[in-house]
Structure 1
Amino acid sequence: MANHPPAEISVDADLVRQLLREQHPSLADMPLRPVANGWDNYIFRLGANYAVRLPRRLSAAQLTANEQQWLPGLTADLPVATSAPVFPGKPSTAFPWPWNITRWFDGLEVSLQPRDRNVALAAQLAGFLNAFHQPAPSGFPFNAVRGIPLENRNDAVLDRLASGMVPHAARVRELWDASLKLPPWPGPALWLHGDLHPANLVGTADGALQAVIDFGDLTAGDPATDLAAAWLVFDQNGRSAFRAALGGQYDADPYVWGRAQGWAVCMASALLSNSDDHPGMYLLGSETLMEILTDVRDWL
């Protein structure tokens, strides 16, 4: 069943233009047009170089505030461009929640290209994670569904496997149960993107990684959450290249890839159970599940 949450507030170009005039007048006369209405945000393109992102509902407003507070400092020295706020927007009488102006990236959404091409992204995505996965201070944004022990997601995953929406549910359940038995991450809570799938990666025409976007699930915890990208983004060849490019950063934890596969099961099952009104995301869930089921598992 589709689970696209309804918007709690309506936003159109006239409202965005009003906010720009009030808070960022130097940008207010640029061309403006709506381009997306996602789960959490309205997105408008502003001129050639910017995007305006405004929360659709109160819960997403806190995610926007988290991005404003943390991302500029966290992403300043990363080797890959990101959608960190360039010009933050404040709540006002016209719009009650924080909002952001970010860079616009003209590249290709990675989820739209054949998966076997993504091997070209492996080294750059690994470089991004090696730089971003640093210990977080106390007070980092808590996320109830990312970075936490896998057992906290057990009820949700089992409900999805029982729904009839996830193919090969019995075998998937075996893999999920195996991941739950693994020891937890032994290190400090590391900063996490939290939603590192191909629709949040922007590639260039020649196959490079242009940007990592949408940090709405920003949190800290077990890096296995982000390492699920090995199955979400790559095929077997890309997965091997990705793991090799990460080097030894996670070698102290021999169970990290087993938990990462568990996170991939969690995310794939969510896509399959909640995206029947979004064919692209449903396909991503289906492809990811097949990667999990057919993995050679040379990391064991």
Structure 2
Amino acid sequence: MTDDGVDPAVDGPTSHAGAAAVDGARIDVALVRALLAAQFPAWADLPLRPVEPGGNDHRTFRLGPALSVRLPSASGYVPQVEKEQAWLPRLAASAPLPIPAVLGRGRPSARFPAPWTVCGWIEGEPASTAAVDDVERFAADLAHFLVGLRDAPTAGAPAPGPHSAFRGGPLRHWDGEMGDLLERVHGPERDGAAGIWRDALDAEEHRAPAWFHGDVAAGNLLVRDGRLAAVIDFGCAGVGDTACDTAFAWTQLEGGARALYRRELALDDAAWARGRGWAIWKALILIGNRPPAQVALGQRVLSTLLAER
């Protein structure tokens, strides 16, 4: 499950070849402090506490007033760490808002068999809980960020794959799973959802591959003083089809904010058709989850997409 609450299902991240298994249940303050003492002793005595609510792919800890520590929670997420360490410093120059700064690259060891990262702490509250003063301005700021990310250099950058839960790749990768997901709804809802999915598969991509974030979710958007202040968690990022970043329009935005987000992203109709495919895939997964809030969100997104169609 990525930090937007969506389980990448059976085709999600697989074990990292050549690495010992990572046990997320063992990641706690004591382990992180031991890792710091061994590899970054200058930071080892700073106050340390888990960040709550935590994500699924990674465990994050606040270290002193200005640092954070981020560790993969399972072996399949190790490639995300390596990708972030390599690319976050390069993406920072193109990003219109702050993104995590890599300050220390932890090495695999007997204590923890995977790389891990020390980043700069970015002040802000996740948009999932923060008060946003102007939702339309928030939508425009987010679109401006994604356009800037989209324009970042792509030479040598990672294509979609298990590291991104195949976000940014062809939707057809999920076509087999979609047949099962459609069983979660019935009657006109199933017919409408199937139609949205078919339209998404038929929508051809015309743009050159570009950087996508891959996990544009409220928990990965930091708010300060009522405005979007930073974007975090690039574990699902890569270079491919940026239509996957449009799903936020239906999961979190309404009315004028959704229209403004669409206008400012400046993508063609085919990209938005593929984006509706990503959104319907996400909605049906959420409908099958256990937490009532996720089920309600999935149903709301489904209803919105069907009403638009």
TM-score bracket for the superposition, by shorter chain length: 0.7 to 0.9
> Which residue is 1:98 aligned to?
115
Residue 184 of structure 2 aligns to a residue whose secondary structure is coil
Quote the RMSD (CA, aligned, Å). Answer: 2.9
Are 2:282 and 1:267 aligned? Answer: yes
CA contact (8 A) 2:23 2:73 kept: yes
- Residue deviations 1:83-112 (CA, integer Å, cap 9, x gap): 343322221222110111223344232123
Q: How does 1:149-160 map to 2 (within 5 A)?
A: 149-160=170-181
Cα pair 1:111 1:284 within 8 Å, conserved: no
Give the ranges of 4+ consecutive aligned residues of structure 1 lying more than 6 Å apart after TM superposition. 2-7
Measured after TM superposition, the shift of residue 190 of structure 1 is: 0.8
* Matching residue's letter, 2:42: S
Gaps of at least 5 residues in structure 1 are none
1:257 and 2:276 correspond: no
Cα gap change, 1:89/1:286 in structure 2, threshold over 3 Å: closer, same or farther?
farther
Equivalences for 1:179-258 in 2 at 5 Å? 179-183=200-204, 185-206=205-226, 208-246=227-265, 248=266, 250=267, 253-258=268-273
* Residues 132-162 of structure 1, C-alpha deviations (whole Å, 9 max, x = no match): 0135224514324211112221122221121
Q: Offset of 1:292 from its aligned partner?
A: 2.1
- CA displacement, residues 195-244 of structure 1 (integer Å, 9 cap, x when unaligned): 112221111232x1011111111121111111222222311211111122
Matched, 1:285 2:305: no
**CA distance in 2 between partners of 1:65 and 1:79 (Å):** 23
Identity of aligned residues (%): 34
The alignment status of 1:17 with 2:33, answered yes or no, reads: yes
The answer (yes or no) to whether the contact 2:132–2:223 under 8 Å persists in 1 is: no
Aligned equivalent of 2:16: none
Consecutive unaligned residues in structure 2, runs of 5 or more: 1-5, 10-20
Q: Which amino acid aligns with 1:132?
A: L
Matches within 5 A, 1:109-148: 109-112=126-129, 118-134=135-151, 136-138=154-156, 140-144=158-162, 145-148=166-169
**Letter paired with 2:246:** L
Q: Secondary structure at the match of 1:100?
A: strand
C-alpha contact 1:116 1:235 (8 A) present in aligned 2: no
In the other structure, the counterpart of 2:59 is 42
Deviation sequence 1:233-262 (CA, Å, 0-9, x none): 31121111112223x4x3xx4411111111
TM-score with structure 2 length normalisation?
0.82
Q: Give me the whole-angstrom Cα distance separating, in 2, the residues matched to 1:189 and 1:81.
A: 23
1:75 aligns with 2:55: no
Task: Determine if contact 1:116/1:234 at 8 Å carries over to the other structure.
Answer: no
Q: 1:45 deviation in Å?
A: 1.6
The alignment's TM-score, normalised by the length of structure 1, stands at 0.84
Partner of 2:13: none
- Which residue of structure 1 aligns with residue 193 of structure 2? 172
Contact 1:200 1:213 in 2 (8 A): yes
The alignment partner of 1:216 has SS state of coil
Tell me how far apart the structure 2 counterparts of residues 136 and 123 of structure 1 sit (CA, whole Å): 24
Partner in structure 1 of residue 17 of structure 2: none
Q: CA separation in 2, counterparts of 1:153 and 1:223?
A: 17
Distance 1:159 1:202 in 2: 35
Q: Which amino acid aligns with 1:14?
A: A
In structure 2, what is the Cα distance between the partners aligned to 1:107 and 1:44? 15
Partner of 2:76: 59
CA distance, structure 1, for counterparts of residue 49 and residue 216 of structure 2? 27
Paired residues in the alignment total 287
| Corresponding residue number in structure 1 for 2:18 | none
